[in-house]
Structure 1
Amino acid sequence: MQNELTHEGGAFINFRNYTFQDSKSPAFRWVDVKRLRFPGGSVGDTELLAALIGHEQFRDDYAGGGVLPDGLRHGPYWVRAVTPDVYESVDREKSDRILREWANRFEDVPADLARDLQREMFDPLAVAGHIYHLGELGDEAIHDWGGVHTDFHEFVLIDRSAERITLLVAADD
């Protein structure tokens, strides 16, 4: 199945590119969105999550190295520690709350950033049929320099009507 996922692109929103009221607002926050198409059919969510984990786009340390097709890291974790069963199914309201609290933690985001976050993060969240959240995996799962992220929020959005998986990462470093 992993070879059947097609990377369609994505978006990167760097809070540093926006003007905040408070000069102490975090410029070290960002959102990375990766969109992958999957073929229609009756494949279950567990298989889709496994295909995503096996895809080269998943091998991103989110620390400036970009996607490494043979990479061993995913965010703060070793890839080997991330399996479909570590994702928690969450509802839209919980996902929305986590992401809005994260984005607005220090102050409300400026209007232009709010528009971009709505388009790239909250609109896909609103249409997803299934939402999965990658929680804390424990110290043994954190790779050798995985502590660079102070916050790391990952959601996998499955939209069967569009035959799309969206990997959404919102983090601070």
Structure 2
Amino acid sequence: MDNELAHEGSAFINFRHYVPDPKEHGFRWVDVNQLRFSAESVDDPGLLAALIGHEQFRNDYAGGGVLPEGPRHGPYWLRLITPDLYEPISQEKAVQILREWVDPLWDVPAELEDDLQREVFDRVAAADGIYYLSELGDEAIHDWGRVHDYFHEFVLIDRSAGQLTLVVAADD
């Protein structure tokens, strides 16, 4: 079974570009990475393992970008992330987590809402499988991994499009 992934593109939504005062929701962002997989890739744990092993996964999301030999992923030590740490969740649960993170008490600017809809929520709706990285605990946090106030990570698998999308929504 082939679980090789090819990076197709990415999008970065920085809330500070949409709000007049960056102190108000201005330190939130969403990073979206799209990877293509072949039709023979039918095993979700295998796809998750391929993602964890992919160069694009080696991102600390703290300004350094992708480091091909990097030991970190978000706030975590990369070596401690395994496919079984990803919990399958429903589309409704994924949307709930994201909407609560965006802040239900905030009037989201129309342009930001449009970008979130196109880059995140439409992909969630199209996904056959949605996986959420559970909180890994203090032992998995790397040496300066507490730079994020919130760190939400979703893996969206869209079999009809042959696409796996890594969505990271965080505050710093």
Runs (4+) of structure 1 exceeding 2 A deviation are none
Q: Which residue number in structure 1 is paired with residue 7 of structure 2?
A: 7
Q: Which residue number in structure 2 is paired with residue 129 of structure 1?
A: 128
Q: Establish whether residue 72 from structure 1 lines up as the match of residue 71 from structure 2.
A: yes
Counterpart contact for 1:25–1:107, Cα < 8 Å: no
User: For residues 8 and 139 of structure 1, do their structure 2 counterparts lie closer, same or farther at Cα, with a shift above 3 Å needed?
Assistant: same
The 1-side partners of 2:23 and 2:158 are apart by 37
Counterpart contact for 1:59–1:70, Cα < 8 Å: yes
The 2-side partners of 1:132 and 1:48 are apart by 11
User: For residues 71 and 126 of structure 1, do their structure 2 counterparts lie closer, same or farther at Cα, with a shift above 3 Å needed?
Assistant: same
Corresponding residue SS for 1:69: coil
User: Percent of aligned pairs with the same residue?
Assistant: 67
Counterpart contact for 2:88–2:132, Cα < 8 Å: yes
Corresponding residue SS for 2:165: strand
Letter aligned with residue 34 of structure 2:
R
Displacement of 1:108 in angstroms is 2.4
| RMSD value, Cα | 1.4
Counterpart contact for 1:26–1:106, Cα < 8 Å: no
Letter aligned with residue 8 of structure 1:
E
TM-score (norm 2): 0.95
The 2-side partners of 1:19 and 1:66 are apart by 24
Question: Which ranges in structure 2 are unaligned for 5 or more consecutive residues?
Answer: none
Q: Which residue number in structure 1 is paired with residue 35 of structure 2?
A: 36
Displacement of 1:107 in angstroms is 1.4
User: For residues 137 and 12 of structure 1, do their structure 2 counterparts lie closer, same or farther at Cα, with a shift above 3 Å needed?
Assistant: same
Question: Which ranges in structure 1 are unaligned for 5 or more consecutive residues?
Answer: none
Q: Which residue number in structure 2 is paired with residue 26 of structure 1?
A: 25
Counterpart contact for 2:16–2:22, Cα < 8 Å: no
The 2-side partners of 1:77 and 1:24 are apart by 26
The 2-side partners of 1:23 and 1:29 are apart by 9
Moved more, 33-42 or 62-71: 33-42
The 2-side partners of 1:154 and 1:42 are apart by 22
Counterpart contact for 1:5–1:51, Cα < 8 Å: yes
1:42-121 equivalences under 5 Å are: 42-104=41-103, 107-121=106-120
Q: Deviations over 1:42-99 (max 9, x none)?
A: 5300000000000000000000000001110000000011100000000000000000
Q: Which residue number in structure 2 is paired with residue 162 of structure 1?
A: 161
Q: Which residue number in structure 2 is paired with residue 146 of structure 1?
A: 145
